Amino acid sequence: MNKFNKFAAAAVAFALAAASTSCGAPEAITFGKSSQTALTVDGYDVPAGVFIFNEIYAYNSARYELYSKNGQMPSMDDVENATFESKGALEWIQDKATEACREFVANEKEFEKIGGELSPEDLAEVKDVLAANISDTSYSANGVGEASLRKVIENSYKSDVVFKHYYGIDAEKGCSEDELKKYYQDKTTRVKYFTISLVDENGEQYGPDEKRILNKMADEYVNDINSQTSNEKKLKKIEECEEKYKEYVDKRAAEAAEKAAKEAGETVTTTTTTTTTAPSGTTTTTTVDPFAKEVLVTKYTTTVAEENDDATATTTTLSAEQEAAKKSQQDYNDYLFNKLSDYKAEKYKYDDDTIYVVIKADIKERMTEDDLWSKNAIDSLLSERYYKDFQDMMKGIAEGLSVKRNNTAYSRYSPFKLELKSE
């Protein structure tokens, strides 16, 4: 939530710049006294620049919706003549902009209600985002001045403060740090593994003899790993086993190439590797990430899949091959979380073509401030767990705010009167 909210303004700026190219240099929009305020939300006067900013965002959303539907970027006329949710484009875009302005005011009011303050770091970031975007003439050309742009950017940071007030650690609607840790531990695991392929370089299945050899090798690797006297040594041993397997594969490939060359009557060349030793007295310092070869795996849930399906308008039909691949992924995920014990290496048949040698480690051992339990990681988890609830809460607050539109401003700043014509 933090990254999205804090840099939403920058993302919109990019969309605006991409969509707002015009053939000539536009004249800057100026506000008359009758249209300086676009609307009043529960007594809060929303500046025209803030309304136009949200209007342009809604216009770009309409363009993207048509692009997704038709496969090509629409012209302004295409957008103007289209229908969205049974509404004409003008009505739909301005309704969306109005809704965004209500949410803007809801953030402002809630921020004031809780006595919120932006930190020096927040203010510095606001300044940086503003500086990065204020030079874009798309804003001034369409009436979004520096003051309005600053308000939009600051509002997203205020939203972050409100979120943490209600859904942060030990907050009213949030959870304790221990509860958040358990939430993370329940859905995340760490593994090391390597694959043993049962097919050759042409994708053809090996014969029974070669498969027996490979399965025996996998069993030996597993035994070697589990014979180690500490968990740390087991995690190190699986890397050594992977290197042994790679050496076997390279040797087999070299022998096959040599055999093919001899059969073709070609000259066989060998490659000699020379190792150079550093001069005595030379010190080489190498920083090694102890977790570089680990993989963090997130628990598969049908809830996530169903939410993603609901978010798409069309249903994708998978081929038999894709269905099989999906089932392999889900079965492996279930195996990791529900069947494989920590620090016990096992051989796992992923599919007909692949064997895994895999070991799972305790995720709790990496939950430190300088690793998986940093401030950014905590913020990200809180967002993942509660941001939907926060959105619903703020939407409810926004819907309870009265709106009085300035019809003069709405007419003057119609999206189809702005400098949005694409080349």
Q: CB-based contacts of 22: which residues, under 8 Å, 6+ apart?
A: 419, 420, 421, 423
Give the mean pLDDT of 60-88: 94
Comparing CA positions, the residue from 416, 419, 410 lying closest to residue 77 is 416
Q: What are the Cα distances from residue 346, in Å, to 192, 224, 245, 342, 363?
A: 11, 11, 16, 11, 18
Mean pLDDT check: name the lowest of 101-105, 131-135, 220-224. 131-135
- pLDDT, position 302: 62
pLDDT in tens, 233-275: 999 999 999 999 999 999 988 887 888 788 777 765 655 555 5
Mean pLDDT check: name the lowest of 205-214, 316-325, 353-362. 316-325
Split at pLDDT 50, 70, 90, the class of 350 is very high
β-pairing, 44-47 vs 83-84, is: unpaired
Asked whether the whole model's pTM tops 0.85, one would answer no
Mean pLDDT check: name the lowest of 115-129, 317-331, 347-361. 317-331
Give the mean pLDDT of 374-401: 96
Tell me the C-alpha distance between 234 and 46, whole Å. Answer: 62
Alpha-helix runs per DSSP H in 168-207: 177-187
- pLDDT, position 135: 79
Q: How far is CA 73 from the centre of its chain?
A: 25
Q: Which two tokens stand for residue 133?
A: 């975007």
Q: What are the Cα distances from residue 239, in Å, to 121, 191, 216, 354?
A: 42, 12, 18, 18
Split at pLDDT 50, 70, 90, the class of 317 is confident
Q: Which two tokens stand for residue 194?
A: 């390597």
- pLDDT, position 25: 37
- pLDDT, position 13: 43
- pLDDT, position 140: 76
In percent, the amount of the chain with pLDDT more than 90 equals 71
Split at pLDDT 50, 70, 90, the class of 280 is low
Q: Which two tokens stand for residue 244?
A: 């042994």
Tell me the C-alpha distance between 193 and 359, whole Å. Answer: 6
Give the mean pLDDT of 321-339: 95
Give the mean pLDDT of 93-111: 97
pLDDT at 399 over 60: yes
- pLDDT, position 268: 57
- pLDDT, position 217: 97
Comparing CA positions, the residue from 127, 129, 107 lying closest to residue 9 is 129
- pLDDT, position 180: 98
- pLDDT, position 243: 97
Tell me the C-alpha distance between 232 and 198, whole Å. Answer: 29
- pLDDT, position 34: 57
The larger pLDDT score, comparing residue 296 to residue 26, is at: 296
In percent, the amount of the chain with pLDDT more than 70 equals 82
Mean pLDDT check: name the lowest of 173-177, 215-219, 280-284, 320-324. 280-284
pLDDT at 423 over 90: no
Comparing CA positions, the residue from 243, 149, 182 lying closest to residue 373 is 182
- pLDDT, position 164: 97
